[in-house]
Structures are given as structure tokens and as C-alpha cells.
Amino acid sequence: MMWKVIKGRVVYKTPLGWVLSHFQDTSLTMLSLPAEELEPIVASFPAGSLPEREMGILAGWLEAFFARRPQELPLEIAPAGTEFSQKVWEATRLIPYGQTRSYSWIAEKLGSPRAQRAVGGALRRNPLPLVIPCHRVIRADGALGGFGGSEPQKLKIKEKLLAWEVSP
């Protein structure tokens, strides 16, 4: 998978749409959800540094992810967030490809079994979807739950990502 730079933004074409990345020096700090239309996300996504080596590593990781051959991302990630959010994101990274866990599972992992809403809030602010796979977190009853503010198009992306991971 190749990348290109459009208006100072690093853009990747994936089977589910365009993904943009943001690097601060050589650390990955933001990643967009896949979007079908490129222009709206380019306009709303910040420009960052353009570390060619890291851009290529991320391209290879995205290619493996969408080829259903998940692997560890060998890049430094630096998502900005509170201490609680960082813990939620670390726990979320433990969810295996193609599997789901509940908001309460993450809350229990953190030793705060009643913090499901706080977990949801931290995941809503996740700056690195796919790397921190918040799409794999669902409600305890099996429903999708919220995603990126529960906007209908973002729930569709969550549904597509989960379907992609479990389909042959």
C-alpha cells in the first residue's frame, strides 16, 4: 500500500476508504477512520511532519491489517490524552483482531468495574483508531454501542470494520 501527500497530509487508500495519518516528528499521533470521500477529511485533518520511513512502515501495517494479517505496529505512537484515557487505550490494544470486548470488560481491566461510561468517553476521543481498535469495543448486550459520538456514518464504519475483521 502506498501513500501520498495531499496538502501536507499523509493519505492512504484502503479497501474501506481513505485513511489519513498525523506524525509529530517520527511518532504517530493521529489516524483517521476510513472515509469514502477524501476532500472532507483532508480539510478537517491537521498537517504534520512527513517522516518517509515511518510513513512506509504505517503503509505496510495498514496493508497487513486490511489483508487480515494483523501484526504489531513497529512505530512509536504518541496519542494525546489524559492518564485515564491512556490506560483505556492500552487495554483496548489487547483486544485481538476479529474479536470484541465490552466497555465493562475494559473498566474491569482497569480496576474500575463501574467506569463503563468513562471508558466510552475515552474511546470517543481515541486519536488512533485501527491502532487502538475502539471499533472492537461493544456493549455488554452485544449491541454496537457508541462510536465517535454515535453519528450514524461512524456507526456504519464500526460495523464495516468489525465485519471486515471476521469475514474470510
Phi, psi of 15 (to 5 degrees): -60, -20
| Residue 101 belongs to some domain of the structure | yes
- 95 and 52, same structural domain? no
The mean pLDDT value for 76-84 works out to 96
**Nearest Cα to 5, choosing from 29, 38, 27?**
38
Check whether residue 117 and residue 150 sit in a common domain: yes
46 and 114 in one domain?
no
Q: How far apart are CA 127 and CA 125, in angstroms?
A: 6
CA dihedral 147, 150, 156, 162 (to 10 degrees): 20
Q: What distance in Å separates the CA atoms of residue 31 and residue 20, rounded to the nearest whole number?
A: 6
How much is the mean pLDDT over the chain?
92
- Assess whether 108 and 138 both reside in one domain: yes
Query: Region 50-69: what's the mean pLDDT?
Result: 96
Which domain, by its residues, includes 19? 3-66
Closest CA to 157 of 118, 130, 121: 130
Give the type of residue at 30: M
Nearest to 43, CA basis, from 20, 59, 68, 65:
20
In a domain, 38, yes or no: yes
pTM of the model: 0.92
76 classed as catalytic? no
134, 137, 138, 157: which one is catalytic?
Answer: 134
Are 88 and 162 in the same domain?
yes
Tell me, yes or no, whether 14 and 44 share the same domain. Answer: yes
Q: Tens of pLDDT along 109-162?
A: 999 999 999 999 999 999 999 999 999 999 999 888 765 555 667 788 989 999
- Read off the pLDDT band of 168 (50, 70, 90): low
Categorize the per-residue pLDDT at 50 as very low, low, confident or very high, splitting at 50, 70 and 90: very high
Question: Residue 149 and residue 15: Cα distance in Å, rounded?
Answer: 24
Q: What is the pLDDT of residues 84-99, one digit of tens each?
A: 999 999 999 999 999 9
Measured distance CA(91)–CA(119) in Å, rounded: 10
Let me know: does 63 contact 1? Beta carbons within 8 Å.
Answer: yes
60 and 133 co-located in one domain = no
- Decide: 2 and 58 in contact? Cβ < 8 Å: no
Grid coordinates given for 3: 501513500
Q: For residue 145, what pLDDT is reported?
A: 76
Q: How many domains does the chain have?
A: 2
